Chains A and B, each alone.
Chain A
Amino acid sequence: NAGVTQTPKFQVLKTGQSMTLQCAQDMNHEYMSWYRQDPGMGLRLIHYSVGAGITDQGEVPNGYNVSRSTTEDFPLRLLSAAPSQTSVYFCASTKRTTLNEQFFGPGTRLTVL
């Protein structure tokens, strides 16, 4: 199993540009989520999904969109990038039988100029 994969690893955007961060898992996990990590703030939940076709907002959803058309994939879209979205983004997945242990991807470091 590849586990949770994220692409790209690094990205630099200009203010106003849009892009999609990719996340995929091959563990047949029903639950997937996106977090952002900022210095001194830990990780904060952006969006999550409890299964294909079902998504919901987390703590800091503004400026981000998600969709879940398959169990495996959960892309995060930045519609119009802002410098405040400079962060490290982590995708995670889990399922009931793992007792809430989240499996995290390697992260994407995004810089918005």
Chain B
Amino acid sequence: AQKVTQAQTEISVVEKEDVTLDCVYETRDTTYYLFWYKQPPSGELVFLIRRNSFDEQNEISGRYSWNFQKSTSSFNFTITASQVVDSAVYFCALSGLNDYKLSFGAGTTVTVRA
């Protein structure tokens, strides 16, 4: 069974502060994908990033960066210099490499105040 845990329920920051979202996962699969999705107040789900279990290299994409550590089963996500438009619910998710079923965490609500 797969399990994704997002321990932070809500985070509130002032604009321009950095925000780090924690994600811890459990899986018996040796190969898998990890994802971050964003759900703005309008309700749609927006794909942000994907990382496969083969590659632990951490990357930066614009104001987003992620830290994948297989040894601790963590996949943390950071928004640098947050903006009001970053206010949303952020979901961490996991799937097997050849399995399209997604297991989601409970989500972290991020509020960025002007």
Q: Interface of A with B (CB < 8 Å)?
A: 31, 33, 35, 40-45, 48, 50, 58, 88, 90, 92, 94, 99-104, 106-107
> Which of B59-67, B71-79, B102-110 interfaces with chain A?
B102-110
Question: Please, which residue of chain B has its CB at the minimum distance from the CB of A109?
Answer: B43
Q: In the complex, given contacts A100-B50, A100-B97, what are 9 additional A-B residue pairs having Cβ atoms less than 8 angstroms apart?
A: A40-B107, A41-B106, A42-B6, A43-B93, A45-B101, A92-B102, A100-B35, A101-B35, A107-B43
> Are the C-beta atoms of B101 and A58 separated by less than 8 Å?
yes
| Residues in B54-96 with C-beta less than 8 Å from chain A | 91, 93, 95
Query: Could you tell me how many residues of chain B have their Cβ less than 8 Å away from some Cβ of chain A?
Result: 23
> Are the C-beta atoms of A42 and B104 separated by less than 8 Å?
yes
Question: Please, which residue of chain A has its CB at the minimum distance from the CB of B104?
Answer: A42
Could you list 24 examples of A-B contacts with CB < 8 Å?
A31-B100, A33-B101, A33-B102, A40-B106, A40-B107, A42-B4, A43-B91, A43-B102, A43-B104, A45-B101, A45-B102, A45-B103, A48-B100, A48-B101, A90-B45, A99-B52, A100-B33, A100-B50, A100-B97, A100-B100, A104-B44, A106-B43, A107-B43, A107-B45
* Residues in A neighbouring B43, C-beta threshold 8 A: 88, 106-107
| Residues in B20-45 with C-beta less than 8 Å from chain A | 33, 35, 43-45
Interface majority SS (helix, strand, loop, mixed), chain A? strand
| Partner among B4, B50, B97 whose Cβ is within 8 Å of the Cβ of A101 | B50
Q: Cα distance A80–B44 when bound, in Å?
A: 27
* Residues in A neighbouring B102, C-beta threshold 8 A: 33, 35, 43, 45, 92, 102
* Residues in A neighbouring B105, C-beta threshold 8 A: 42
How far does the Cβ of A38 sit from chain B's closest Cβ, in whole Å?
A: 10
Question: When A and B form their complex, which 9 residue pairs have the shortest distance between CB atoms, in order from nearest?
Answer: A42-B104, A104-B45, A43-B104, A31-B100, A42-B106, A100-B33, A100-B95, A42-B107, A42-B105
Q: Cα distance A92–B101 when bound, in Å?
A: 10
Known A33-B100, A42-B91, A43-B102: A102·B33 in contact at CB below 8 Å: no
